């Protein structure tokens, strides 16, 4: 019995840590907040009864996240805590009772919307934004200042009568419309869409390149002032003051003089939240008096003076009719459930993703089952459980196919990945079609006259089998082509045909695409893990396709920010003779396989032929900025120090391991000022 309890505590601790990692670090949660809280409660109860088995770093004691490796890690001036969650009116009233016991009978609360985003702490000194830290593990977080500075609604300079120095915490998020637009764009460019606005905001703020962050439409609401304690009497006053300094505070915040008023606020917003331009997953209730907040205090993880009330996500029951196994562009197989149509949040839902084998096994879902379907923040509805009491007799476990449903190849699964995939990347039809769609997309060859339906048409008429076939298409081949297309969403058939004008536009688009830069062509080739940014780095490092094709894994690892996974994927791609034939044909068609970017935007050639490893933080440049300056002056950025490195450019907080290695190899270590002198000489 005791052994069982200990092992239950161990399992819950490990699983909750894993879910925390998925939520905070990967931004890809696989269970709902409600399920997480249920597990956490169970662990809390067990730990109370058997404290001797509790782990010192138990998720009941430590706030979820951990810092990621890409940014400088800094300590919070005060721990960045999370809030305890409530789900029922009774739990909310219990909170009110607890507060009253600690702080007297007449309590004033402030109710605010709970923004479903990514927590951030902004520090302002003399009105200037000087630092933005993520929550991290609650004690220290990642310094994402440069990325946060790209958010237009966060002022770099305050106005009015602001204090000399303070921190204000808030939530970075993405508006629904902006999120949908961004996802449409991603799909068009052959990239995977984000599951919901929260994930996309979290994923964006942790991107390495601030210039990429700037392209994503993020916003931020601020809700927690931390500074001179004598400045305000109430939290509400601090919100109004922050507004007057130019900071963005949400207008829904209200003072409530009783828990009944709080409940009214919650019920009202539960109805009205559909009309908001952003996602809210609940209401946050805070004691208004700052003096009382101080007296009521904190637990190890949460303030006792505040609580979150979480809205129900809409959950409905329906029948699982069948499961399709779809093959994506990268060969990943996604099981998709076909459901008896059901209305959720006003839209009819017929299909839901089952993600992968692990999720199917976890749910033990079977064809014929009555399943629970949820559509919370997610765009794609999710099956979250099975109503076992309604399971008909004779159902069978759902088996993942062993062979590809499209080309019959034996499916593979890497141990450390959840997805099965079809390895037949050169001949499996959906994979080839996916690659063709990616090739013509805007950030690759930008042939906007060719859409997905045209690709289908060209494919079915066997006119295009690989990228090079686009360049031998003639007007006469395509004018008048037609086919019937079945629209899955409205169940109607549509006739698609290429008229004269469309055929002319396609040919013109193909001809124009020959002007695309080498980096865009490289991106268009669809080499696994070679996205837009990696293409840019490879193109400018290797200058032309022949150098890149010859490069070994070690050569590739020298390129700034290229790791083993990417390097191996590139080498593998160029080893495939079929790909080399395509490159030859594309060369003959006149595509650009030579980089002339360095000379185009060059500031000078002062660093020509010199290679740099950049490390640490700089005063006059952002990290991206200093790397760009190196390239614009003819130099090269490389990822790791080797005997071929010319300079290590050392900023503050440079990693000791790098410093040691540079010294060991006798590589010249220069400061930011030395660098400035070098380029100004
Ligand atoms: S106050 C010390 N107010 O939800 C308490 N938090 O699940 C500081 N959140 O950690 C938090 N909207 O990241 C507060 N209006 C709001 C919020 C809010 C969203 C986030 C915040 C918090 C998490 C708790």
Per-residue pLDDT, 491: 47
From 23, 59, 223, 253, mutation site for ligand 1 pocket: most ligand atoms within 8 A of C-beta: 223
Helix (H, G, I), strand (E, B) or coil at 447: coil
Same domain, 306 and 318: no
Same domain, 674 and 617: yes
Residue 62 lies in a domain: no
The response to whether residue 115 sits with its C-beta less than 6 Å from ligand 1 reads: yes
Residue 58 lies in a domain: no
Using alpha carbons, select from 440, 441, 438 the residue that is nearest to residue 425: 438
Query: Looking at 367, 400, 422, which one is the last position of a domain?
Result: 422
Are 107 and 38 in contact, with CB atoms under 8 Å apart?
Answer: no
- For residues 318-346, b (16+ Cβ closer than 10 Å) or e, as one string? bebeebebebebbbbbebbbebeebebee
How far is the C-alpha of 93 from the C-alpha of 86, rounded, in Å?
10
Residue 651 alpha carbon to ligand 1 centre in Å: 34
Q: Catalytic residue numbers?
A: 114
- Domain limits at 570? 429-589
The response to whether residue 241 sits with its C-beta less than 6 Å from ligand 1 reads: no
Query: Looking at 310, 331, 359, which one is the last position of a domain?
Result: 310
Is-above-0.75 flag for pTM? no
Residue 67 lies in a domain: no
Cα dihedral 67, 72, 76, 82, rounded to 10, equals -30
616 φψ region: left (φ > 0), alpha (ψ -120 to 50), beta (else): left
| Residue tagged 């067990």 (tokens) | 46
From 284, 303, 306, mutation site for ligand 1 pocket: most ligand atoms within 8 A of C-beta: 284
Per-residue pLDDT, 239: 97
We report the CATH number of the domain holding residue 615 as 3.40.50.10190
Q: How many Cα atoms are found within 13 Å in the side-chain-facing hemisphere of 75?
A: 2
Same domain, 559 and 611: no
Q: How many Cβ atoms from other residues are within 10 Å of residue 62's Cβ? A: 18
Residue 529 lies in a domain: yes
How far is the C-alpha of 423 from the C-alpha of 674, rounded, in Å?
50
Same domain, 141 and 286: yes
Work out the widest C-alpha separation in the chain, in whole angstroms: 85
The response to whether residue 406 sits with its C-beta less than 6 Å from ligand 1 reads: no
We report the CATH number of the domain holding residue 10 as 1.10.287.610
Per-residue pLDDT, 489: 40
Given a cut of 50, the residues of the chain with pLDDT beneath it are: 66-69, 487-491, 599-600
How far is the C-alpha of 449 from the C-alpha of 446, rounded, in Å?
9
Same domain, 101 and 120: yes
Kindly state the tokens that stand for 134: 């993520």
Are 156 and 149 in contact, with CB atoms under 8 Å apart?
Answer: yes
The response to whether residue 296 sits with its C-beta less than 6 Å from ligand 1 reads: no
Same domain, 321 and 303: no
How far is the C-alpha of 334 from the C-alpha of 327, rounded, in Å?
7
Domain count, the chain: 5
| Cα–Cα–Cα angle for 352, 31, 346, rounded to 5 degrees | 40
Are 431 and 425 in contact, with CB atoms under 8 Å apart?
Answer: yes
How far is the C-alpha of 345 from the C-alpha of 274, rounded, in Å?
9
Residue 402 lies in a domain: yes
Locate the DSSP E strands across 441-488: 482-486
From 36, 81, 83, 293, mutation site for ligand 1 pocket: most ligand atoms within 8 A of C-beta: 83
We report the CATH number of the domain holding residue 568 as 1.10.150.20
Per-residue pLDDT, 189: 63
Closest ligand 1 atom, CA of 302?
2
Per-residue pLDDT, 69: 42
Closest ligand 1 atom, CA of 250?
15
Same domain, 290 and 301: yes
Residue 339 lies in a domain: yes
């Amino acid at each position: 019995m005791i052994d069982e309890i200990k092992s239950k505590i161990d399992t819950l601790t490990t699983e909750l840590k894993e879910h925390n990692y998925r939520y905070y670090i990967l931004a890809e949660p696989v269970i709902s907040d409600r399920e997480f809280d249920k597990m956490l409660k169970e662990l809390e109860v067990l730990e109370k009864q058997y404290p001797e088995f509790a782990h010192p770093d138990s998720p009941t004691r430590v706030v979820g996240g951990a810092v990621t490796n890409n940014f400088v890690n800094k300590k919070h001036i005060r721990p960045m805590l999370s809030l305890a969650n409530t789900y029922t009116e009774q739990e909310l009233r219990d909170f009110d009772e607890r507060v009253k016991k600690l702080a007297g009978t007449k309590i004033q609360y402030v109710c605010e919307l709970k923004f479903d985003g990514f927590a951030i702490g902004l520090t302002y000194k003399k009105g200037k934004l000087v630092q933005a830290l993520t929550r991290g593990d609650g004690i220290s977080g990642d310094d994402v200042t440069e990325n946060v500075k790209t958010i237009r609604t966060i002022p770099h300079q305050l106005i009015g009568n602001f204090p000399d120095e303070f921190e204000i915490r808030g939530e970075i998020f993405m508006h629904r419309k902006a999120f949908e637009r961004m996802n449409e764009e991603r799909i068009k460019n052959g990239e995977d869409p984000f599951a919901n606005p929260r994930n996309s905001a979290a994923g964006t703020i942790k991107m390495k390149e601030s210039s990429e962050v700037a392209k994503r439409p993020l916003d931020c609401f601020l809700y927690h002032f931390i500074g001179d304690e004598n400045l305000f009497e109430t939290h509400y006053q601090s919100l109004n003051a922050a507004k007057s300094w130019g900071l963005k505070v949400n207008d829904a915040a209200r003072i409530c003089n009783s828990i009944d008023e709080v409940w009214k606020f919650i019920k009202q917003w539960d109805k009205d939240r559909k009309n908001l331009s952003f996602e809210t997953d609940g209401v946050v209730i805070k004691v208004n008096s700052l003096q009382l907040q101080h007296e009521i205090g904190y637990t190890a993880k949460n303030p006792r003076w505040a609580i979150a009330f979480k809205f129900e996500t809409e959950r409905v029951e329906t029948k699982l009719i069948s499961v399709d196994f779809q093959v994506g562009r990268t060969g990943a197989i996604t099981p998709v459930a076909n459901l008896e149509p059901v209305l959720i949040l006003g839209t009819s839902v017929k299909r839901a993703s089952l993600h992968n084998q692990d999720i199917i096994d976890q749910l033990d879902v079977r064809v014929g089952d009555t399943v629970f379907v949820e559509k919370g923040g997610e765009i794609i509805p999710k099956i979250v459980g099975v109503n076992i009491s309604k399971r008909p007799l004779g159902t069978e476990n759902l088996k993942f196919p062993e062979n590809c449903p499209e080309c019959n190849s034996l499916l593979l699964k890497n141990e450390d990945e959840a997805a099965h995939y079809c390895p037949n990347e050169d001949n499996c039809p959906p994979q080839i079609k996916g690659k063709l769609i990616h090739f013509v997309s805007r950030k690759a060859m930008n042939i906007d006259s060719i859409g997905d339906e045209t690709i289908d048409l060209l494919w079915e008429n066997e006119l295009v089998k690989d990228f090079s076939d686009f360049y031998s298409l003639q007007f006469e081949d395509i004018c008048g082509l037609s086919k019937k297309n079945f629209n899955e969403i409205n169940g109607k058939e549509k006739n698609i045909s290429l008229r004269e004008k469309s055929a002319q536009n396609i040919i013109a688009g193909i001809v124009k695409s020959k002007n695309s830069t080498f980096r865009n062509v490289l991106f268009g080739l669809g080499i696994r893990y070679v996205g837009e940014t990696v293409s840019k780095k490879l193109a400018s490092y290797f200058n032309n396709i022949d150098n890149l094709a010859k490069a070994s894994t070690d050569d590739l690892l020298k390129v700034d920010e290229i790791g083993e996974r990417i390097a191996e994927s590139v080498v593998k791609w160029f080893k495939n003779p079929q790909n080399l034939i395509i490159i030859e044909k594309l060369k003959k068609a006149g595509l650009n396989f030579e980089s002339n970017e360095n000379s185009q935007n060059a500031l000078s050639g002062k660093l020509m032929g010199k290679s740099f490893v950049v490390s640490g933080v700089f005063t006059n440049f952002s990290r991206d900025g200093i790397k760009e300056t190196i390239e614009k002056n003819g130099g090269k950025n490389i990822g790791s120090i080797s005997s071929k490195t010319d300079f290590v450019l050392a900023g503050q907080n440079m990693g000791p391991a790098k410093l040691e290695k540079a010294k060991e190899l006798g590589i010249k270590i220069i400061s930011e000022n030395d660098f400035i002198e070098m380029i100004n000489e």
